Amino acid sequence: MLSTARPRRVAALIGACLALAVALTACGDKNTGHSQANGAGTTTAAPSASPSTGPSVGPSDDDTDDPDDSPTAPRSTGGQSSPKPSASKSTAAAPPGTTYADRLPKFGSPPPPHRINLPEGAGVPYYARIPTDQPVAFLTIDDGWVKHPEALELLRESGVKVTIFLTINAIKDNPAYFKQLRDAGADIEAHTLTHPELKGKSYDFQRREICGSADQLGQLYGRRPTLFRPPFGDKDATTLKVARDCGLQAGFFWKETVDKGIVRYQEGNTVKQGDIILMHFRDRFVDDFIAALQAISAAGLTPALLTDYMPAPPHA
């Protein structure tokens, strides 16, 4: 009896082990098949960045102009770290031919301008803010190194008039580009021949740079400039005297700067009536232009042309 029962128990145990192994194999095959089916039919969409509905704001930089107009990082702000654009900020320009209506603020026509009186003196007056009683601000764009393909469309879409201070060395490879901007409402003014540091230079050096740029711009675009901005915003008494002797009316600094879609303020955190805003022809032209207009709109102001607020020149 004992010898017969023992083989039966061994056989039963072996059979149970075989059954368990078969069950585990089937379970593994089923789970593997489920996993493969999910992987074959599922795609994951990358989250899209939504465009900003208002200007990005940062502290003012040291109010210097970038000599080569490259999108360099702002200089030291006295220990303050410059803010970075929000993660939701769009950094890619829309393809040519598309509309910017969803990002561009809407402006009515600027008010009929009240021209200011310019003080007499050996040199031209120098303004960072126009002393006006009207709700306007002035967007200015410098140099001309980067000929962004969408600048013309932005000017047309926005209906905004801007003042562009052009450097001859920056535009000489494609002067026709700026004729299109002029025809879309940009006012072309002088910003020297080669974008040098003028402060401390001789009268003759400064005259060659300032008069030379005004003369060449007049030849290129059919109107000789009447306004002037020194490179980097740096000037001395000689600079202002040379500008006067070259037949220019006034020189201009700025109260706000725009770079990489960030607006930086010298005073407070809003554009004020009469403020002059500086941006450049840079790779991020689209973001800078829209950020500047959003800042003007947020302040309840309308963009206007600097020349409309200057006395009419004698030859006009």
Residue 16 neighbours by CB distance under 10 Å = 10
**For residue 8, what pLDDT is reported?**
55
**For residue 58, what pLDDT is reported?**
55
Max Cα–Cα distance, the chain, nearest Å: 133
298 pLDDT more than 80: yes
pLDDT mean over 107-133? 96
Phi, psi angles (nearest 5°) of residue 8: -65, -40
Task: Report which of residues 274 and 313 the model is more confident about.
Answer: 274
Task: Report which of residues 185 and 66 the model is more confident about.
Answer: 185
pLDDT mean over 204-217? 98
The model's pLDDT over 220-271, given as tens digits with 9 standing for 90+, comes to 999 999 999 999 999 999 999 999 999 999 999 999 999 999 999 999 999 9
165 pLDDT more than 70: yes
Percent above pLDDT 70 for the chain: 67
Percent above pLDDT 90 for the chain: 66
> Bridge-partner residues for 57, per DSSP?
263
Reported confidence tier of residue 312, pLDDT bands at 50, 70, 90: confident
Q: What is the mean pLDDT of the chain?
A: 79
Reported confidence tier of residue 278, pLDDT bands at 50, 70, 90: very high
**For residue 15, what pLDDT is reported?**
56
**For residue 98, what pLDDT is reported?**
53
Q: Which amino acid is at 104?
A: L
Paired tokens of 18: 């075989």
pTM of the model: 0.73
**For residue 102, what pLDDT is reported?**
81
The model's pLDDT over 32-56, given as tens digits with 9 standing for 90+, comes to 333 333 333 332 222 223 334 455 5
**For residue 103, what pLDDT is reported?**
87
